[in-house]
Amino acid sequence: MHTAHAEPSLLDRASPAIRLLALVGMPLAGAAAILGGLQIPRLFYGEANPFIAAAEIASLAALPVLWLSLRAALRVRSAPSGFYRDVLDFLALAQWHPAVKFALAVVLVFPPALYLHGQFWLLPIIWIRGRAALASGDVRNALDGLVASFQRPLIGGVPLLFTLHMLSRWQPKRRLLPWLLLPIVFIGTAMVDIFIVVSRMH
């Protein structure tokens, strides 16, 4: 007797290509979105480079599509394991160690919050004056600085978060190790941030 096998679904057949596309496309789109981030506020006051702004918008639109597609591709029966799966899980934000999630939250939230604390006047003036506030050079510079406060930590933080994620996968029994390494992640991110700021001053 022959054993019946379920026919692979369309997603099963397409998942290897989706995973490869996400592996290549998400880092490229993410890099373009981070490096071109200053174009977003400049769109509002007419100083954006049209080509870089178009690439920025396309990258931001591509990221959620690739992310959702990758999440679906990792749920099929033929999903890979081992090193390849660990890398894809990082891109998919899937099965992250709690310490990696915490580190990402700090990298995303703390620098902009610290920046806004020093620019406490920015949000009230935009709330009161609306788009008319964008005529002020100080407001434009502050908005550029706000975007940069997201941009610079991600440039240094993402590689360190990836390293922390991979270490948590390679040492699954040492659950405290990623927590113990968090200071290195934060110090490394801050050092890259400072280096970028200093290099732009010369």
Q: Mean pLDDT, to the nearest integer, of 180-190?
A: 96
| Secondary structure class of 38 (helix, strand, coil) | coil
d(CA 164, CA 171): 10
**Helix ranges restricted to H, 74-181:** 82-92, 98-118, 122-129, 137-170, 177-180
Instruction: Give residue 5's pLDDT.
Output: 55
Percent of the chain with pLDDT over 70: 96
Has residue 202 got a pLDDT over 90?
no
The set of residues, in sequence order, having a beta carbon less than 8 Å from that of 124 and lying 6+ positions away, is none
Has residue 38 got a pLDDT over 80?
no
d(CA 105, CA 189): 13
Q: How far is CA 60 from CA 27, 54, 55, 57, 82, in A?
A: 12, 10, 9, 5, 29
Of 3-7, 108-112, 193-197, least confident by mean pLDDT is: 3-7
d(CA 111, CA 163): 21
Query: What is the CB neighbour count within 10 angstroms for residue 122?
Result: 18
**Model confidence, pTM:** 0.89
d(CA 147, CA 173): 38
Q: Which of 194, 158, 143 is nearest to 63 (CA)?
A: 158
d(CA 118, CA 107): 18
d(CA 1, CA 17): 34
In the DSSP assignment, the letter for residue 131 is G
The set of residues, in sequence order, having a beta carbon less than 8 Å from that of 145 and lying 6+ positions away, is 115, 119
If you average pLDDT over each of 31-35, 119-123, 179-183, which comes out highest?
179-183
Q: How far is CA 10 from CA 5, 62, 140, in A?
A: 15, 22, 48
